[in-house]
Amino acid sequence: MEHRQVIATAPSSTANLGPGFDVFGLSLEAFEDKITINAQSEQAAQIVIKVLGVGSSSIPAIVENNCAGVVVRQMSKDFGIKNNLEITLEKKVPAGMGLGSSAASAVAAAMAFNRLFDLGIETNRLLEYAAEGEVVSAGTKHFDNVSASLLGGFTLVRTNPRIEFIKIDAPEDLFTVVAVPSLKVPKKKTELSRRVLPRQVPLKSVVHNVSNASTIVAGFLLKDVQMISKGIDDLIVEPYRKKLIPGYDAVKRNALHSGALAATISGAGPSIISFLKNRKDAKQVAISMSEGFKEAKIECKTFECRISKGAKIISTA
Ligand code: HSE
Model confidence at 299, pLDDT cuts 50, 70, 90, reads: very high
Note whether 206 and 298 are same-domain residues. Answer: yes
E strands along 145-267, which residues? 154-158, 164-168, 174-181, 262-265
Q: How far apart are CA 149 and CA 100, in angstroms?
A: 8
Largest CA distance in the chain: 61
Residue 13: pLDDT over 90: yes
Reported as a pLDDT band with limits 50, 70 and 90, residue 257 is very high
Q: Whose CA is nearest to atom 4 of ligand 1?
A: 267
- Total domains present in the chain: 2
Closest residue to atom 5 of ligand 1, CA basis: 268
At 1 the pLDDT is: 59
182/262 same-domain check? yes
- Distance from Cα 81 to the centre of ligand 1, integer Å: 32
Tell me the CA distances in angstroms from 89 to 42, 52, 221, 238, one per residue in order: 22, 6, 35, 33
Confidence (pLDDT) at 129: 94
Atom of ligand 1 nearest to the CA of 98: 8
Question: For ligand 1, which residues put their CB under 6 angstroms from it?
Answer: 15-16, 21-22, 142, 144-145, 190, 194, 267-268
Spatial contact of 112 and 35, defined as CB atoms under 8 Å apart: yes
* Domain identity same for 11 and 148: yes
Amino acid in the structure at residue 54: V
Counting beta carbons within 10 angstroms of the beta carbon of residue 56, is it exposed (0 to 12), middle (13 to 18) or buried (19 or more)? middle
Angle at 270 between CA 16 and CA 284, to 5 degrees: 90
User: pTM of this prediction?
Assistant: 0.94
Q: How far, in Å, is the centroid of ligand 1 from the Cα of 101?
A: 11
**Average pLDDT value for residue range 37-53:** 82
Q: Are residues 11 and 160 in the same domain?
A: yes
12 and 145 belong to one structural domain: yes
Cβ partners under 8 Å of residue 101, min gap 6: 12, 33, 91, 93, 94, 95, 137
83 lies in the same domain as 200: no
Nearest ligand 1 atom to the CA of 237 is: 5
Probe residue for ligand 1, chosen from 13, 14, 16, 159 as the CB with the greatest number of ligand atoms within 8 Å: 16
Same domain? 180 vs 297: yes
Quote the ligand 1 centre to 82 CA distance (angstroms): 34
Closest residue by Cα to atom 8, ligand 1, is 267
Range of the domain at 188: 174-305
Tally: H helices and E strands in the chain: 10, 11
Instruction: Please give the Cα distance from 282 to 258 (Å, whole number).
Output: 9
Given a cut of 80, whether residue 137 has pLDDT beyond it is: no
